[in-house]
Amino acid sequence: MKSKFNHYSERAKELRALLNKANYFYYVLDSPEIEDSIYDQLYRELIELEKANPSLVTSDSPSQRLGGIPSKGFKSINHNIPLLSLDNAFNIDELKAWYSKIIKLIGSKNTTIKEIQKPAVICELKIDGNAISLRYENGILTKGATRGDGKMGEDITRNIRTISTIPLRLLLNNPPPWIEIRGEAFMPNKIFNKLNLERKNNDQPLFANPRNSCAGTLRQLDSKIVSSRKLDFFAYSLYLPQNWEPNDCNLKKPTSQSESLEFLKNIGFKVNTTSEKKKDLNELNNFYKYWEVKKNSLDYATDGIVVKIDKFELQKILGSTNKAPRWAIAVKYPAEEKATKLKKLIFQVGRTGAVTPVAEFESIELAGTIVNRATLHNAKRLATLDLHYGDTIVVRKAGEIIPEVTRVMKEFRIIDSNLVKLPSHCPECNSKLVQESEEAITKCINSECPAKIKGVLLHWVSKGSMNIDGLGEKIINQLVNLGYVKSIADLYKLEINSLLSLERFGEKSANNLLREINESKTKNWHKQLFGLGIPHVGEANAKSLSKNFKSIEELFTSSKDSPEKISNIYGFGTEITDAIIKWFDNSNNQNLIKELKSIGFSLKENLKSKENNSNLLNGKSFVLTGTLESLTREEAKELIENAGGKVNSSISKKTDFLISGEKTGGKLKKAQELGVKIINENELKLLL
């Protein structure tokens, strides 16, 4: 029989292997293999084993290093000041134990500081992003680096410069010779959702959560791509030379974490405004519980709170281990996962023919919403899960946003249940499916597949494209199923009798829809271009292309003869350029262009309209809030942009006008505070 020690030794060896492998997938490949909650459980088990049996500690143990290995592709950079990680607590009892230990440690130093029995703490949200180190020399940003292993990271300065919330020059009259800033880069939820929607429309694999998406973006070799994804940044700590003092009367050198956050804000950084100073454990507990509920209302992902002893003097007394500061701890929220029963798997066909497996399961509540389905992305993910019909599955919301199936509980599997496989033929048209060797995507290549036609039409009539009011999914399904429409061009050949044969259609609604369809021929060039559904060409890229190429002929010629004109556009690269070239090479797309021109689409810039309108608002910036009386937001945005103005999503000092409607939010208050001119819809029309 094995001794207890041998058993512990074998388990420690197994845990080290599992954790080191997980670290490699997470830090080097940016492709997490296991969920955070499981990693934390395994790590804590190893720590407990090593604590009880010190002789089990080895040099390759994850407990003996700060993080993972920096990934290749960027120049390595040494951190002048190491980026230590934080110790974790997983409930309030563990937090209380940490706080009690802190009090004893301070007391053991025989200090005369009054706050020994009740040191004030500051609570901050733990942003679920990527830790970044910034170095400024004489007030100018000189280096930006990833955390890496805490001692050495990757030099991503070019990418860091694209993040607008990171100042290139500090707001300091007498900047020190150097200053080091620590903070969290993250992708806002609305940007993440938009990016995933574009990837879905282009039949690309979706990002699992905002954190992974942010990490992948920061490691892009093309900084234009980084810029297009609009990352954000919260600064949370700084390091200054000991002998430097600011000469600005509004600034004083911080002596605590709360003061340092204020200092960071004053020198040009964005800081998280949810942080609060607390005087006891009861207040701390209230903060933790409040944000456990409210975190789902934020536009960024957070997986817990960070508690820090506020005074720098006490932080210095407490010091650090070789891994983490003793004066700070992260208190994580439990990862919300629930088990449910798989009901069935359906296979959706997108507008490019990509087949996506979607799990439908018994309804569960996750992160405040009812969930009953989740995409499994592609055949590779389906095979990895080893999913069988009738399985009990575990579901969570990735990044608190997208439902995902994390694993199968095989111990509850029904005996002799059948393995779920991707179909060999299209579920819509029964054509044989193909999988291109370089892709994980399985496709239907039948150009007449009803599902593909429906997807193309839905994209064409969407808000960002033709914005045809009244032509939704149900009507498109009827038109395709009855054989009235087999292409975009067929929409413009519809007759009133065809519409009258549809469910719930009268003469008035039929005439209104025909008018809407016909009027869509006059939409702007960039909207026509977006509607074509070229892979990787979302609304933003369509606008960029329309500014550089005045017609479809110009773009087509460049794709054949001078593709560098496309790849040199800011935010573009070889992937987007190759997708455009491939799209134009397709004979079906060439026929689509001919058909659209034959029914009245210009597929080019309206120079006369631009000449009449482009200087009316002369580069002025606008922000919209509330519900307008007669215009939708999309219509108002189009009017402003046609007249040379720019529409932003957030208020700043540089905003010229806030257009305010009914049921406004916080933008109105912020505009009033910043002195931004506030106008209504009628005043906008007067400007035009």
Residue with tokens 């309206």: 606
Where do the DSSP E strands lie in 128-258? Answer: 130-137, 140-146, 152-154, 179-186, 232-239
**Residue 39 confidence (pLDDT) above 90:** no
The pLDDT > 70 percentage for the chain reads 90
For range 597-612, the mean pLDDT: 75
pLDDT digits (tens, 9 = 90+) for 563-591: 999 988 866 878 889 889 999 999 989 99
> How does 349-363 read in b/e, with b if 16+ C-beta sit within 10 Å?
bbbbbbbbbebebee
**Residue 168 confidence (pLDDT) above 60:** yes
The pLDDT > 90 percentage for the chain reads 37
**Residue 614 confidence (pLDDT) above 60:** no
What's the pLDDT score for residue 341?
A: 93
What's the pLDDT score for residue 216?
A: 85
**Residue 219 confidence (pLDDT) above 90:** no
Helix (H, G, I), strand (E, B), or coil: what is residue 482?
A: coil
What's the pLDDT score for residue 66?
A: 47
**Residue 469 confidence (pLDDT) above 90:** no
What's the pLDDT score for residue 67?
A: 42
**Residue 480 confidence (pLDDT) above 60:** yes
User: Which fold, 450-599?
Assistant: DNA polymerase; domain 1 (1.10.150)
What's the pLDDT score for residue 1?
A: 43
What's the pLDDT score for residue 117?
A: 66
What is the spatial distance between Cα 404 and Cα 266, in angstroms, rounded to a whole number?
Answer: 41
CB 527 within 8 A of CB 459: no
- Measure CA of the first residue to CA of the last residue in the chain; give whole Å: 88
What's the pLDDT score for residue 476?
A: 94
What's the pLDDT score for residue 636?
A: 83
What's the pLDDT score for residue 24?
A: 58
What's the pLDDT score for residue 528?
A: 93
What's the pLDDT score for residue 335?
A: 67
**Residue 111 confidence (pLDDT) above 80:** no
What's the pLDDT score for residue 333?
A: 84
Catalytic residues: 126
The CATH architecture one would assign to domain 4-64 is Orthogonal Bundle (1.10)
- Give the homologous superfamily in CATH for domain 87-332: DNA ligase/mRNA capping enzyme (3.30.470.30)
pLDDT digits (tens, 9 = 90+) for 276-299: 999 888 898 999 999 988 888 888
What's the pLDDT score for residue 592?
A: 93
What's the pLDDT score for residue 113?
A: 58
Q: pLDDT tier at 35 (50, 70, 90 boundaries)?
A: low
**Residue 70 confidence (pLDDT) above 50:** no
Q: pLDDT tier at 440 (50, 70, 90 boundaries)?
A: low
Q: In sequence order, what are the residues at sequence separation of 6 or more whose Cβ sits closer than 8 angstroms to the Cβ of residue 491?
A: 457, 460, 461, 471, 479, 485, 517
More confident residue, 203 or 330: 330
What is the spatial distance between Cα 512 and Cα 134, in angstroms, rounded to a whole number?
Answer: 57
Nearest to 257 by CA among 315, 205, 305, 303: 315
For range 477-491, the mean pLDDT: 93
Alpha helices in 312-441 (DSSP H): 312-318, 379-385
More confident residue, 614 or 406: 406
CB 611 within 8 A of CB 620: no
Instruction: Note the CATH number of domain 608-687.
Output: 3.40.50.10190
**Segment of 76-90, 197-211, 637-651 carrying the highest mean pLDDT:** 76-90
Average pLDDT, the chain: 85
**Segment of 387-391, 434-438, 650-654 carrying the highest mean pLDDT:** 387-391
For range 289-310, the mean pLDDT: 90
What is the spatial distance between Cα 507 and Cα 11, in angstroms, rounded to a whole number?
Answer: 75
Number of H helices, E strands in the chain: 26, 22
Spell out the domain ranges in the chain: 4-64, 87-332, 337-435, 450-599, 608-687
CB 68 within 8 A of CB 23: yes
**Residue 235 confidence (pLDDT) above 50:** yes
For range 338-343, the mean pLDDT: 91
For range 396-415, the mean pLDDT: 81
H-run or E-run covering 194: helix 189-201
Q: In sequence order, what are the residues at sequence separation of 6 or more whose Cβ sits closer than 8 angstroms to the Cβ of residue 94?
A: 331
Residue with tokens 């061009």: 489
Domain 337-435 has CATH 2.40.50.140: yes
More confident residue, 329 or 74: 329
**Residue 264 confidence (pLDDT) above 90:** yes
DSSP β-ladder status, 121-127 and 87-89? unpaired
For range 180-184, the mean pLDDT: 96
What's the pLDDT score for residue 447?
A: 87
For range 106-126, the mean pLDDT: 77
**DSSP for 627-681?**
B-SS--HHHHHHHHHHTT-EEESS--TT--EEEE-BS--HHHHHHHHHT-EEE-H
What's the pLDDT score for residue 212?
A: 82
For range 550-557, the mean pLDDT: 94
